Amino acid sequence: MTAAKIGTTSIEYEVIGEGEPLLLVMGLGCQLIHWPDEFVRLLVGRGFQVIRFDNRDIGLSTKMTGRPPTIARTVGALLSKRLARSDYKLSDMADDAAGLLDHLGIGRAHVVGVSMGGMIAQSIAIGHPGKVASLTSIMSNTGDRKNGRVSVGLIKKMPKYLKSTPETRFTNALAVDQLISGAVFDETATGDVIRRAIARDADELGTARQSAAISASPDRTPGLNKVTAPTLVIHGLMDPLVLPSGGLATARAVPGARLLMFPDMGHDLPVARWPEIVDAISTIAGSAPISKPSVAASAS
């Protein structure tokens, strides 16, 4: 792994495999290591050169300096946009990702994002359309505030887990992951990733700032109406963090988008569905092939 300087922001990234470039964009508070290694290997096996990275404010990328919102304001911003304040927005995070592609000498890539990463991926397609060969938005929404909201039940449960200390960070993160996961929750595998993430980045303030960026960003629907890249939308019917209406709204917003919904999937990437997800990503990417040679890969 290494870092790219994008303006004043340093973005940590990793390049794996050879083939058509595929950019993976992670979600809120998650690092590049949250993309499961085996899932990445499946994509590499389908002929992609996979690029995964830490968004700003998380992992080994630059931490921003703005004051993070309080828990009350974070929850309030989910309910009312007028309470949303942020020093940066999702479009700025999309600019980071586009800058990373420039740093790597990649003109166009297949872009795949989950949750907040799906919002960023959409923003790349809107703000940097020439860089996106195909778009895959997973368990995300359009930012229209009507669709893909957090379930009321989850909002009621979340505040106690947001009050984290170094001693409770692991148990709180594990509890949240279990709350938002679908039919199958692998406590051992999830716990292992959480431990690795905490060891790699013990600072939680970036997650709060990223959450503020989501709430402060505008509705992407008008921009999505103009997206011409082949688009795949994936969502789980059991998702309580971004309700399934978010996936439906995204698919409606992008002309010709394909919608794939799984009944046993929550706000997670269930292992049993990896082959189908990888197949679907490969199919949408195959409709917009890239001829540019891949960049030199770093060790995985």
Residue 96 lies in a domain: yes
Give me the DSSP letters along 7-74.
Answer: TTEEEEEEEESSSEEEEEE--TT--GGGS-HHHHHHHHHTTEEEEEEPPTTSTTSPPP-SPPPPHHHH
Section 179-186 average pLDDT: 96
**Bigger pLDDT: 300 or 216?**
216
Note the helical H segments in 105-243: 116-127, 152-162, 169-180, 187-200, 205-216, 221-224
Query: What is the residue-averaged pLDDT of the chain?
Result: 92
CATH number at residue 216: 3.40.50.1820
Instruction: Inform me whether the pLDDT recorded for 299 exceeds 70.
Output: no
Q: What's the average model confidence in pLDDT over 284-293?
A: 85
Question: What is the per-residue pLDDT for 300?
Answer: 39
Q: What does the pLDDT look like over 266-283, one tens digit per residue?
A: 999 999 999 999 999 999
The tally of domains found in the chain comes to 1
pLDDT digits 0-9 by tens, 77-89: 555 566 556 789 9
End-to-end CA distance of the chain: 8
What mean pLDDT do residues 221-245 have?
98
Query: Above pLDDT 70, what percent of the chain?
Result: 91
- Position 195: which residue type? R
Q: What pLDDT band is residue 210 in, cutting at 50, 70 and 90?
A: very high
> Which of 202 and 219 is assigned the larger pLDDT?
219
Q: Is residue 180 a part of any domain in this protein?
A: yes
Closest CA relative to residue 229, chosen from 143, 111, 144: 111
The pLDDT tens digits for 95-107 are 999 999 999 999 9
Domain extent, residue 17, equals 2-286
Kindly state whether residue 104 falls inside one of the protein's structural domains. yes
- 291: in domain: no
254 within some domain? yes
- What does the block give as tokens for 223? 């921009």
Structure tokens at 93: 């995070």
225 within domain boundaries: yes
Band (pLDDT 50/70/90 cuts) for residue 43 is very high
- Convert the pLDDT of each residue in 146-162 to its tens digit: 999 999 999 888 877 87
**Residue 200 CA: distances (Å) to CA of 1, 16, 30, 107, 197:** 13, 20, 11, 31, 5
Residue 65 predicted with pLDDT over 90: no
Identify which of 89, 88, 109 has the alpha carbon closest to the alpha carbon of residue 100: 109
In a domain, 295, yes or no: no
The answer to whether position 107 is within a domain reads yes
At residue 68, does pLDDT exceed 80? no
Predicted local distance difference test score (pLDDT) of residue 84: 57
